[in-house]
Chain A
Amino acid sequence: MELEPIIGLEVHTQLLTKSKMFCLCDANYQIAEPNSKVCPVCMALPGSLPVINRQAIEFVIMTGLALNCSINEFTQFDRKNYAYPDLVKGYQISQYDFPVAYEGFLEIETDDQPHRIGITRAHLEEDVAKMQHNNDSTNGHTLIDLNRCGIPLMEIVSEPEISSPEQAREYLIKLQNIVRYLEVSTGDMEEGSFRCDANISLRPKGSKTLGTKVEIKNMNSFRSIHKALTFEIKRQTIAINNNEVIIQETRGWDEEKEITFSQRSKEFAHDYRYFPEPDLKPIKISKEHIENLKSSLPEMPQERRDRLIKNYNLSEYNAKLITSNKATADYFEACLTSHSSKSSQQIEIAKSIANWINTELAKLLNQTNTPIENIKISPKSLINLLNLIEKGTINSTQGKQVLEKMFDTGKSSEQIVEEENFSQISDLDSIRSIVKDIIVQHPDPVQDYANGKENAIGFLVGQVMKTSKGKADPKISKSLLIEEILSGTK
């Protein structure tokens, strides 16, 4: 029996508001001393009351609009009751039947196929405390840091319309990019600002009914989400083929063992006893307010891609890569601004910048797992490097080496070229003497070229570059080689 997976994703993303969701405490809690960003409200002292953060509501409306959602003109908060030591009030202020945004979609592409994934809803709630469990530094106790209490969390729930781990990853990457473009969240998974739970079930291909779903938690990277879903599909496939019953349960992802494991079965599921939060009045969101937010939405990835193609004649491929991450696109445009080119040259330079970012720079960032935001090479610095290549001070092979050193050290290209004696040899006499040696050393390729096998010249240029330790100007080397070979055959 051929089975198909049905996946739905729940994403919790912390919002980049100035203050917390229901009090005036600083929401920038990550580097603060434990329990220093707190007040009676977020500590749940007796008698304290919540007050809604307007910016958080607006951020969810903006995200909702970017995800093609409808916005509820009447929205309200509810209490979600459950007991856990990290939940200080004993209930979480969340949203139940009137979320801020509902019924949208996100378009993704896998294997060159477009897919439209439905968005069920986007709502607001508050984050809980951080617990540090029993270890040496806590003296065997569990410690609680309340700084995270009350940080606004946006929950975005997808329809069960994702049919592979690849699609799940694409969906998340795209969603992450959207919250970053909107600047409503850092979207960082490692910091815990962007968290994902997955619901997954299998059913016979073509069937309309859903199988028993399993929820998977604690996946901390796109990679682990992909792996966890892949594992879970395999586990459930084997179980179904062995006629075992899939249990509705919550499973955790074990990053080290690369398996999912049972955490809680349905019998122990919470009854959250939702009811409307009596401490907060329902909110009416006017059509004008929604329209105003809509018209002030920042440029989204697709729009930016189209603009880059239109303005700089970038290839579809380059533009897509550049805009797939807001920070990369920002970097690209900052480079362009740093370049004091005439507009006639701009298309040329834009292409060159895009190529460098998408190949050499991307390689270095990937190898070192560095986000482009943390790069040591300023846009101005990259432009200076490209100028050195353009002027012929160094060749592009050297350029790649200089870039690597800039990436490691943060030094300017000029400094590296000078310190490491990188400058290109372009005087004819020096190159000609190397060229003559190479011709003597490699008679066969020389003969091949002379016989009309043009490819052979590439090898010989390579040899000149090698002998000159990459410093010879490859263009000059090539023309001198040709000149010398042709004059020798006369």
Chain B
Amino acid sequence: MNILTDLTIHEAHKLLKERKISSVELTDAFLENIDHLESKIHAFISVTPEIARSAAIKADKKYQENSASTLTGIPMQIKDVISSKGIKTTCGSNMLKDYIPTYDATVLSRLLDEGAILLGKGNMDEFAMGSSTENSFFYPTANPWNLNRVPGGSSGGGAAAVASGESIFALGSDTGGSVRQPAALCGITGLKPTYGLVSRFGLIAFASSLDQIGPMTRDVEDCAIILNAIYGKDINDSTSLNVTPADYTQSLDENIKGLRIGLPKEYFAEGIQTEVRESVLKAAELFKQAGAIVEECSLPLTKYSLAVYYVLAPSEASANLARYDGVRYGVTPTNPKNAWESIESTRGMGFGKEVKRRIMLGTYALSSGYYDAYYVKALKVRSLIREEFTNVFKKYDALLTPTSPTVAFPIGLKTHDPVAMYMNDACTLAASIAGIPALSIPCGFHDGLPIGMQIITTYLQESTALKLGYTYQKMTDWHIQRPQL
């Protein structure tokens, strides 16, 4: 175990700035750790050592020239759903196993412009559909805390890499919990920002109205640093928001006195593991001690989130995944008889089971005769869920809930039971549906496995969630625990 690989971004940046370490040293430490651990963890789909080293040399130059920013020379892993120019971007799918994009996603070019170092691309459930990273075409990722357990998903590669010391931070994508749930299961910090705060240009679409890119880091301070680098209007994404410039690290103080925190009772009900429930309630106690007002509240419509999500997300996915016809990219059969046969076998070979299942679900929900009963109905309930949040946020500054109903489960346990798998997102779906920010941070352990809690705030109030998370991490040391590997 190399001590360099235990650093946070803010710690590493300080050492780089003081020239106590170089970016090349830091990068090499991570590349060594990747070499050492990947056969066990499988957090990466591809590793890019040459690109990383040459970027590290440039980063060191920037430090010498005093033109470095906080992210200069900081190694990162990017989920393989994010387009990277000249670097294979597979989306965890056989369909795109050889696809090399011609352009960088906006988030990636923003990070590269800051001088961050790309170590490689993160493993994930195919097309971000899944909660365990077992749907990766390549291999499942192991949870660094227990290699027989799942890391969560779909951004399981990112969570495992950050937890195991294979990367300082990662970018994940979150459609229904894909950043937060693996962050919880691997004991790291993960944020799903307000829908539209971060550009989706270059993020391979799963469900366009829900997808958001988010940071996966070792603590809340790092999370704010990454958010600073990636948020903001992008002319290439019409749904990105034009927000007033902010420095999210400015919200990092322990002044939470008088902040009103709601504990929605539906998130502590049946189906939530006892130890998970207790850890989150203990955290609530700590917030109370720090001066926050903590009360039970209710979000009765939350129970419809799963149904709404599994109508809307597959519907959008059924259209988003229609472009994979094997003509411009993607696997193609040898000697097809005609165009239709070619397209059909491309899709037959290219997509895995879960992806096919969701395409079929979505196609059905949008079909003539069913559209009003499913899609339109789901949109209506979505508005109601949004409204419910708006109302509850009139009374509370933040909501505190578990991130995942349970700690990490054994690999293979739920692969044959899609509905049991879908239930893993029960706590994270509502914030996705409402488009509001939610932060997951570690708040305990059970059976040697991390527990995560979720801080949900209203539209564009990332700073409140970060402030609460920061305060909590000042009071606890869950986030500095590292697995023994």
Contacts and interface: CB of A to CB of B under 8 A. Distances in A.
Contact of A278 (B202, B316, B324): B316
Contact of A89 (B204, B235, B323, B363): B323
Interface string A34-65: 00000010011111111110000000000000
A85 B322 CA distance: 11
A248 to B, nearest CB: 16
B205 interface: yes
Nearest to A51: B238
Given A46-B89, A83-B343, A271-B368, A88 B328 contact: yes
Contacts of A109: none
A52 B202 CA distance: 17
Most buried by A among B102, B318, B322: B322
Nearest to A279: B208
Please list the 10 inter-chain residue pairs (A to B) with the smallest Cβ-Cβ separation, ordered nearest first: A90-B322, A278-B208, A273-B366, A278-B209, A46-B204, A47-B83, A47-B202, A44-B323, A47-B204, A271-B368
26 contacts: A40-B102, A44-B328, A46-B89, A46-B99, A46-B101, A46-B329, A47-B101, A47-B105, A47-B202, A47-B204, A47-B205, A49-B201, A49-B236, A49-B239, A51-B235, A52-B238, A81-B318, A81-B319, A89-B323, A91-B319, A144-B327, A273-B363, A273-B367, A275-B366, A279-B238, A279-B239
Given A81-B322, A83-B343, A278-B316, A48 B201 contact: yes
Interface in A58-100: 79, 81, 83, 85, 88-91
Nearest to B376: A275
Contacts of A210: none
A46 B238 contact: no
A284 B315 CA distance: 26
Contacts of A81: 318-319, 322, 366
Contacts of B453: none
Interface in A81-132: 81, 83, 85, 88-91
A273 B321 CA distance: 14
Contacts of A279: 205, 208, 238-239
A352 interface: no
Contact of B339 (A85, A88, A281): A85
Contacts, number: 105
B419 to A, nearest CB: 24
Contacts of A275: 315-316, 319, 366, 371, 375
Contact of A280 (B91, B101, B235, B238): B238
A46 B323 contact: yes
A46 B105 CA distance: 10
A337 interface: no
Contacts of B367: 271, 273
Contact of B239 (A46, A79, A90, A281): A281
Interface string B223-241: 0000000000001111100
Interface string A161-183: 00000000000000000000000
A438 B323 CA distance: 83
Contacts of B149: none
A271 B324 CA distance: 20
Contacts of B371: 273, 275
Contacts of B205: 46-47, 279
Interface in B317-366: 318-319, 321-325, 327-329, 339, 343, 363, 366
Most buried by B among A48, A49, A85, A281: A49
Contacts of B327: 85, 88, 144
A440 to B, nearest CB: 82
A142 interface: yes
Given A85-B343, A273-B363, A279-B238, A47 B201 contact: yes
Interface string B196-212: 00001111110111000
Contacts of A43: 328
A51 B324 CA distance: 21
Contacts of A89: 319, 322-323
Given A44-B328, A279-B208, A50 B322 contact: no
A133 to B, nearest CB: 10
B186 interface: no
A47 to B, nearest CB: 4
Contact of B91 (A46, A50, A79, A273): A46
B96 interface: yes
Contacts of B101: 40, 45-47
Contacts of B239: 49, 278-281
B32 to A, nearest CB: 31
Contacts of B339: 85, 142
A89 B325 CA distance: 9
A81 B366 CA distance: 10
B24 to A, nearest CB: 31
B138 to A, nearest CB: 17
A490 B202 CA distance: 102
